Every structure is written in structure tokens, then in C-alpha cells.
Amino acid sequence: TYPSEQWGLELEMQSDFRLYYQPIVALDTGRISGFEALVRWYHPTRGMVSPVDFIPLAEETGLIMDLGDWILQTACYQLREWQSKFPHGLEVTMVVNLSSLQLHNPHLVSQIQQLLDEMNLDNRYLKLEITESGLMENEEIALDLLRTMREAGIQLSIDDFGTGYSSLARLHNLPVNTLKIDKSFLQRTTFDHESWEIIETIIILAHKLGLTVVAEGIETGDQFELLQRLNCDYGQGYWLSRPMDASGATALLAKNP
Ligand code: G
Ligand code: G
Ligand code: MN
Ligand code: NA
């Protein structure tokens, strides 16, 4: 990464952000159950900068708070449009990543509630994704906040599951709906067959705890079929669809009633 002065981050971060949307598909029916919003930043000279590079900078500078608000607003606005445009828009969940720093905002839940009310969106159509490591680093704050979200009927998902160090005992106490298995497990299956067993175990465990499972990073038809056989609920990955801009995602949704 580069020092933030070099990026002119403060000035330039105010514009040229876009949200892309990647479908999350029900593995049994093939229908789109939701979209994950993924932020993109078009730098005037560098071109597309990956969130892997600018999210840490935004966190360091505190800009993640404003950026995070903008992402939530834009994603909810998009969902509002889909619900208005398509009868089956009401089956679509919008999944938004939260930085663990956003968990420190004491007004987060009330701000989100206000946003959902303004957009006339039912709370259950928003799903927030928090990484397993972000959750564990901020366990006290996070737990409180997650409970409040759950009480409000907002859905919660643990992202990058399997890469952090949450004990299974703790998982039992987390008020979440969904585990998203980190894509590194699927990537390893090509040369390491035990990874399938880990994936299978995570799916069985999650189901025992009443959670749904998303496998991310599906890149082949074989992976898709094996996940179906393991009773994985949802999938996401290039083989199904790459993240797309708003008009691409809208066109895809139009074809997927
Ligand atoms: O497409 P991908 O390159 O989008 O994203 C890379 C990383 O950036 C992922 O770990 C993803 O969770 C994170 N990321 C993408 N969009 C957002 C966002 O809107 N907010 C936060 N906090 N992280 C995001
Ligand atoms: O939020 P999270 O860390 O889960 O971010 C998802 C990341 O995975 C994004 O960068 C997204 O662009 C990327 N991604 C989505 N599908 C695939 C895929 O099939 N393969 C790989 N390698 N990355 C993917
Ligand atoms: Mn995610
Ligand atoms: Na992930």
C-alpha cells in the first residue's frame, strides 16, 4: 500500500466510488437470493483500486465511517429500486460488508433503522456481513450490537468464516443467521482433498446451529455440484457470476424471476 498523502485520499475519496453487486444463488433452485455489495474506487490516474488496498487506508484515516454510510445508503437505494421494479425483487436480500470500525459507532443501528424506514424497506431484506476476525477482535462491542440488530430483524452473516479463531463454543452464542465459508477452502480443494471434509463439517455444524451456509469463490461446475451434494444452501463466485455494476445486476435480476 501507499501512504495516504500520495493518494490524496481525503479529497479524492469523496467521489468516484461505485458499488458492484455479486449474486448469491440458492444452490437447490439456482435462483438469486441476494446480492453482495462490493465497493470499487476509480482513481483518476491509477484506475480501479481494489478495496483490499483502500479499505485499510479508509480505516486508518477514519474515512471508513463516511464511506460506510455511503455504501449502506447506496445499497439500500439499489434494493429499493429492485423491489419497486420487479415483483420478485422482494425475494432479494442486500448484503453489505461492515468494517469492524463501524461497530464502534454507537448510533449505527439507529442510523440503519432510519435509512431502512426512509427507503420503506423491511429490515429482513438487509443482511450485514462482518468478518470472523473483526468480530472476535471486538467481541464485547460486537455482541451487544449484533444482538440489537437481531432484535431489529436485520440479518447477520459471518464473512471469511474459517480464517479467524472463533471457537465453536462461541459460535453457538453469536446471534447470526449465516456463515460464509471463506473462499480459500474451495481454492484448496483442487490440490488438497481434506478441504472438502472441512467444508462438509462446517456445513453440518452450521445446520445443527440453525444457520444457513454460503460458499464463496465457486469457480467451477464441479465445485458447484459438490457443494449441492453437501447441502450447502447458497453459493457465490465467478462461475455463477462476477460482481457487476448496477445496470448489469439489474439486467441479470430481470432474467431471473
Ligand atoms: O471484490 P473484492 O475485491 O471486492 O473485495 C475485496 C475485499 O474488500 C473483501 O474482503 C471485501 O469484504 C472487502 N470489501 C468490499 N466491499 C466492501 C465494503 O463495501 N465495505 C467493506 N468494509 N469491505 C468491503
Ligand atoms: O467480503 P469478502 O471478503 O467475502 O469479499 C469477496 C471477495 O471475493 C471480493 O473480492 C470478490 O470480488 C471476490 N470473489 C467473488 N467471487 C470470487 C471467485 O469466484 N473467486 C475469487 N478468487 N474471488 C471471488
Ligand atoms: Mn463479504
Ligand atoms: Na469472504
Most informative mutation of 42, 73, 97 for ligand 1 (most atoms within 8 A of CB): 97
pLDDT grade for 119, boundaries at 50, 70 and 90: very high
Provide the percentage of residues in the chain whose pLDDT is more than 70. 93
Cα–Cα dist 16/46, whole Å: 12
155-161 and 178-181 as β-strands: parallel, antiparallel, unpaired?
parallel
Structure pTM? Answer: 0.94
pLDDT in tens, 2-19: 444 444 555 455 568 999
Give the position, in ligand 2's atom list, of the atom nearest the Cα of 97: 1
Closest CA to 239 of 256, 255, 223: 223
* Protein residues with CB under 6 Å of any ligand 2 atom: 22, 38, 97, 159-160, 183, 216-219, 236-238, 243
pLDDT interval class at 91 (50, 70, 90): confident
Question: Do residues 126 and 140 touch, judged by C-beta distance below 8 A?
Answer: no
Distance 236 CA to ligand 2 centre (A): 8
Cell triple for residue 199?
467444508
CA-closest residue to ligand 2 atom 16: 237
Whether the predicted pLDDT of 42 surpasses 70: yes
Q: What number of residues does the chain have?
A: 257
Which residues contact ligand 1 via a Cβ below 6 A?
A: 37-39, 50-52, 55, 71, 97-99, 243
Instruction: Give the pLDDT of residue 6.
Output: 44
Max CA-CA distance within the chain?
50
State the pLDDT at residue 190: 80
pLDDT at residue 65, as a whole number: 92
pLDDT tens per residue across span 207-240: 999 999 999 999 999 999 999 999 999 999 999 9
Return the SS3 of 191.
coil
Tell me the CA distances in angstroms from 159 to 33, 71, 76, 177, one per residue in order.
17, 17, 20, 12
Task: Give the residue, by CA position, lying nearest to ligand 2 atom 23.
Answer: 217
The b-or-e profile of 32-61 (16+ CB within 10 A means b, else e) is bbbbbbbbbbebeeeeebeeeebbebbbee
